[in-house]
Amino acid sequence: MIKKDNKGRFKKGMSPWNKGKSVRLNPKGEFKKGQIAPMKGKKRLDIRGENHFNWKGGKTTMNHYLRTTPKWKVWREKVFRRDDFTCQNPNCKYCKNEIGVGLHPHHIKPLSLYPEMVFEIDNGITYCSEFHLKSGLHKKIKQR
């Protein structure tokens, strides 16, 4: 029996249950069905690109593509600087309008309806992450 202290941690000096145990093989000396052979420091190069289970033919959604571009980071930074790194929701109950609390940039006119305004600084506004996610501002657009 493994002994733990009253806080649920293992006691000092106790060895783990699997120390010294090897990988189990079937009688033929093969790994059991569904069991992966130990890699022992080797890199798995065969699960990249087309061989990966989640490969979708090299397609990247436009939303994901935009949010990973350097232009997006510049736009985001400019919106935060303009708004002085403060939530623009007056009397925000989540952040109390403190400077530098977890911020999200938000498009005033949605990207889905106005894709040409994606990097317009005047189309951005800064909200704290709590207000942005809990207010449902980003969900209301999908219902239109």
pLDDT (tens digit, 9 = 90+) per residue, 73-88? 999 999 999 999 999 9
Residue 42 lies in a domain: no
Q: How far is CA 8 from CA 4, 5, 86, 110, 112, in A?
A: 6, 6, 42, 49, 50
Mean pLDDT for the chain?
A: 79
Domains identified in the chain, total number: 1
Q: What is the pLDDT of residue 144?
A: 45
Residue 50 lies in a domain: no
Residue 136 lies in a domain: yes
- What pTM does this model have? 0.58
Q: How far is CA 47 from CA 36, 38, 44, in A?
A: 14, 16, 6
Residue 84 lies in a domain: yes
pLDDT (tens digit, 9 = 90+) per residue, 25-45? 666 666 665 555 655 556 666
Q: What is the C-alpha to C-alpha distance for residues 42 and 45, in angstroms, rounded to an integer?
A: 9
Residue 78 lies in a domain: yes
CB 94 within 8 A of CB 134: yes
Residue 52 lies in a domain: no
Can you tell me the mean pLDDT for 86-110?
Answer: 89
Give percent above pLDDT 90 in the chain: 29
- The torsion angles phi and psi of 28, rounded to 5 degrees, stand at -80, -5
Domain that holds residue 113: 62-143
Q: What is the pLDDT of residue 48?
A: 77
Residue 129 lies in a domain: yes
More reliable by pLDDT, 61 or 45: 61
Residue 2 lies in a domain: no
